[in-house]
Amino acid sequence: MNFAVLASGHGSNLQAIINAARAGRIKADLKVVISDKKDAYALKRALRAKIPAIYINPHDFSDRESFDRALAGHLRKFKIDFVVLAGYMRLLSRYFIRQYPNKILNIHPSLLPAFKGLHGTKDAFDYGVKVTGPTVHFVIDEVDAGMIVLQEPVRIEAKDTLETLERKIHKAEHRIYPKAIDLFARGKLKIIGRKVAIV
């Protein structure tokens, strides 16, 4: 199976995925990394790992779907079977999601369905919950609402700041995302209604 990573930012999850794939802990080939941000450090990480890195400029397109048609065109060229979002902060169009039904994974930094949206870690921290943590889920046509694959609880201690909490959540993300990707690639995830069974 071939997969692509879409990333907009720092790319620490991308790095964890690259490392896991190199170590044989993901049985699939990462063929291309694509970003909607020219300066995304994720693109540099891809190039350093000798993985093709592509920047698509959103300003070159009149709307979300035409951007996504260009994106899907690149993925077809690389014969991509499934797509991994790793800090990709651009909403996907219905068109794109239909191209890859139940073949797009995302990671979110809170225990969904709590604290959906762009600031999952800060929103959980500010709310005062005692436990939060990342969620890997399938992408459906509703933001942060897809079927849940893996979650890892992270405790918020009295001494935690937003920064220390972010670090703990990232570490947990780097553990569960490669694992979820490998399960998917090996056909071990079975979607039954809203539930995902590991078979």
Out of 108, 137, 170, 174, the active site residue is 108
| Beta carbon of residue 28, minimum distance to ligand GAR (angstroms, whole number) | 18
Nearer to ligand GAR, 73 or 117 (CB): 117
Nearer to ligand GAR, 13 or 151 (CB): 13
| Beta carbon of residue 42, minimum distance to ligand GAR (angstroms, whole number) | 6
| Beta carbon of residue 192, minimum distance to ligand GAR (angstroms, whole number) | 25
Query: Under the rule (CB under 6 A), what is the footprint of ligand GAR?
Result: 7, 9-13, 86-87, 107-109, 118, 120, 134, 170, 173
The span from the CA of 150 to the CA of 133, in Å, is 11
Annotated catalytic, 137?
no
Residues 15-30, buried b or exposed e (16+ Cβ, 10 A)?
A: bbbbebbeeeebebeb
The span from the CA of 148 to the CA of 198, in Å, is 11
Identity of the amino acid at 2: N
Give the closest residue to 49 by CA, choosing from 106, 108, 5, 81. Answer: 5
**Cis peptide bond N-terminal to 134, omega within 30:** no
Nearer to ligand GAR, 131 or 199 (CB): 131
Catalytic residue numbers, as ranges: 108
